[in-house]
Amino acid sequence: MGDILKINGTDFCNNTTNVNGVTLLHTLNVDSIAKDCESPECYTCGPLQFAFSFKDAGDCSLACSGECGYYYSKDYGTAYDGKPTGCTECNLQLGVPIYQDVLCTPAPDGYYSPKNCDVDCERCYTLTGGIISNIGTCPDNCETCSTTVSLTYSEVNCTDACDKDSCKAYHTNGNCLICPLIVGDYLYNNEDCEPVNAGFYSPQNCEEDCNYCYTVDATGKITSVSSCGSVTPECRPVNMTIIPQEDCKGACEDTSCVVRYTDRKVGELIQAGDKIYDNPSCTCPGDSFWESSTGFWQVWYSECAESPASPYYNQCIYKASESCTVQSVEKCNLD
Q: Which residues pair with 154 in a beta bridge?
A: 200
**Parallel, antiparallel, or unpaired for β 6-7 and 10-11?**
antiparallel
pLDDT band, very low/low/confident/very high, at 191 (cuts 50, 70, 90): confident
Read off the pLDDT of residues 20-78 as tens digits, 9 standing for 90 and up: 444 344 344 444 444 445 456 789 999 999 999 888 767 787 888 778 999 999 998 88
Per-residue pLDDT at 287: 66
pLDDT reading at 155 higher than 60: yes
Per-residue pLDDT at 312: 52
Per-residue pLDDT at 22: 43
Averaged pLDDT, 251-270: 87
The SS3 assignment for 56 reads: helix
CB 57 within 8 A of CB 221: no
Averaged pLDDT, 82-91: 86
Tell me the pLDDT of the chain averaged across its residues.
81
pLDDT band, very low/low/confident/very high, at 153 (cuts 50, 70, 90): very high
The SS3 assignment for 264 reads: coil
CB 166 within 8 A of CB 152: yes
CB 51 within 8 A of CB 66: yes
Distance between CA atoms of 63 and 85, rounded to whole angstroms?
Answer: 27
CB 217 within 8 A of CB 198: yes
Read off the pLDDT of residues 116-138 as tens digits, 9 standing for 90 and up: 888 878 889 999 999 998 888 88
Averaged pLDDT, 162-176: 92
Per-residue pLDDT at 333: 64
Tell which wins on pLDDT, 268 or 89: 89
Read off the pLDDT of residues 254-263 as tens digits, 9 standing for 90 and up: 889 999 999 8
